[in-house]
Amino acid sequence: MKFSYNFLQSFFKSKLPKPEKLADLLTYHFAEVEGISKQGKDFLLDIDIRPNRGPDCFSYMGIAREIGAILKLTPLLPKSKRAIKETSKIKELISISCQAKAGCLRYTGGIIKGVKVGSSPKWLKARLKSNNINPINNIVDATNYVMLETGQPLHAFDYDKIAGDKTKKIIVRRAKKGEKITTLDDREIKLDKDILIIADKKEPLAIAGIKGGKKAEITNKTTNILLEAANFDRILIRRASKKIGLKTDASRRFEYGIDPNLTQLGINRSLVLIQELAGGMIIPGRVDFYPKKPVPKRIKLELDYVEKLLGIKIPVKEIKDILRRLGFTFVPQVSALSKKQILIDVPSFRLDISYPEDIIEEIGRLYGYRKIPSKFPLVALIPPERNLEIFWENMIKDILKEAGFWEVYNYAFLSQEELDIFNLKNAVEVKNPVSIEYQFLAPSLVPNLIKDVAKNQEYFNDIRIFELSNVFQKTKKTKKGVIERKRLSVLISTEDLKPAEGFYQMKGVVDLLLNKLGISDIWYEEHRSTSWEGRYCAVIKIGGEEIGFLGNIDREVLDRLGVKNEAVIFDIDFDKLQKLASEENEYQPLSKYPAAVRDLAVLVPSDVKVIDVLNKINAAGGKLVRDVDLFDIYEGEELPEEKKNLAFHIIYQAPDRVLSSEEIDQLQEKIIEALEEEPEWEVRK
Class of the domain covering 388-580 = alpha beta
pLDDT of residue 334: 60
Average pLDDT, the chain: 90
For 201-228, give the DSSP string.
SSSEEEETTTEEBSTT---TT---EEEE
Q: Average pLDDT of 9-21? A: 94
Report the C-alpha gap between 344 and 341 in whole angstroms: 10
Tell me what pLDDT residue 81 has.
59
Residue 82 pLDDT > 50 = no
Higher pLDDT, 644 or 529: 644
Angle at which helix 316-325 crosses helix 60-71, to 10 degrees, equals: 160
pTM: 0.59
Q: Is the pLDDT of residue 587 over 90?
A: no
Beta pairing partners, 281: 113
Rounded-to-10 torsion of CA 182, 187, 193, 196:
-70
CB atoms within 10 A of CB 619: 11
Using DSSP's 3-state secondary structure scheme, residue 97 falls into: strand
* pLDDT the model gives residue 498: 85
Q: Report whether 99 contacts 289 (CB < 8 A).
A: no
How far is 388 from 579, CA to CA, in rounded Å? 10
What is the rounded average pLDDT of the residues 624-644? 81
Of 314, 420, 457, residue with least CA distance to 372: 314
**How many Å from the N-terminal Cα to the C-terminal Cα in the chain?**
97
Mean pLDDT of 61-79: 92
**How many Cβ atoms from other residues are within 10 Å of residue 56's Cβ?**
26
Identical fold between 88-289 and 596-684: no
Residue 117 has pLDDT above 90, yes or no: yes
Domain ranges of the chain: 2-71, 88-289, 298-371, 388-580, 596-684
269 neighbors 110 (Cβ within 8 angstroms) = no
User: Is 3.40.50.2020 the CATH number for 596-684?
Assistant: no
- Say what the pLDDT of residue 87 is: 46
Torsion angles phi and psi, residue 657, rounded to 5: -165, 170
Query: Is pLDDT above 90 for 626?
Result: no
Q: In what order do the strands lie in the sheet with 440-441?
A: 413-414, 440-441, 428-429
Q: Which listed CATH number (3.50.50.60, 3.40.50.300, 3.40.50.620, 3.50.40.10) goes with 88-289?
A: 3.50.40.10
Strands 180-182 and 462-474, bridge-based pairing: unpaired
| pLDDT value at residue 609 | 78
According to DSSP, residue 487 is labeled E
- Exposed / middle / buried, residue 244 (Cβ in 10 Å: 0-12, 13-18, 19+): buried
In sequence order, the 6+-apart residues with CB closer than 8 A to the CB of 93 are 111, 159, 167, 168, 283
pLDDT tens by residue, 315-335: 999 999 999 999 999 988 766
- Give pLDDT tens digits for 289-312: 999 888 889 999 999 999 999 989
Residues 66/25, Cβ–Cβ less than 8 Å: no
Q: How far is 177 from 537, CA to CA, in rounded Å?
A: 74
Q: How confident is the model at residue 105 (pLDDT cuts 50, 70, 90)?
A: very high
Judged against a pLDDT cut of 60, whether residue 160 lies above it is answered with yes
d(CA 447, CA 343): 67
pLDDT at position 83 over 60: no
Residue 350 phi, psi dihedral angles, 5° rounding: -95, 75
pLDDT for the residue 86 = 42
Q: Running DSSP on this structure, what letter comes out for residue 630?
A: E
Res 640: pLDDT = 81
* DSSP element (H, E) containing 508: helix 499-516
CB 98 within 8 A of CB 289: yes
Distance between CA atoms of 572 and 546, rounded to whole angstroms? 9
CA distances from 553 to 451, 498, 549 (A): 13, 11, 12
Q: Are 43 and 19 in contact (CB under 8 A)?
A: yes
Q: Which of 20-29, 43-52, 212-221, 524-533 has the lowest mean pLDDT?
A: 524-533
**Quick check: 638 pLDDT over 90?**
no
Is 94 in a helix, a strand, or coil?
Answer: strand
* Fold entry, domain 298-371: Phenylalanyl-tRNA Synthetase; Chain B, domain 1 (3.30.56)
CA distance 195 to 175: 6
Q: Transcribe 322-341 into DSSP letters.
A: HHHHTT-EEE---SGGGGTE
Residue-by-residue DSSP string for 550-605: EEEEPHHHHHHTT--S--EEEEEEHHHHHHH--S-----PPPSSPPEEEEEEEEEE
Residue 80 scores a pLDDT above 70: no
- CB contact burial 206-225 (16+ within 10 A = b; e otherwise): bbbbbbbbebbbbeeebebb
Q: Has residue 245 got a pLDDT over 80? A: yes
Q: What percent of the chain has pLDDT over 90?
A: 64
Instruction: Identify the three-state secondary structure at position 71.
Output: helix
Tell me, which fold does domain 2-71 have in CATH? Phenylalanyl-tRNA Synthetase; Chain B, domain 1 (3.30.56)
Q: Which residues contact 582 (CB under 8 A, 6 or more apart)?
A: 517, 518, 519
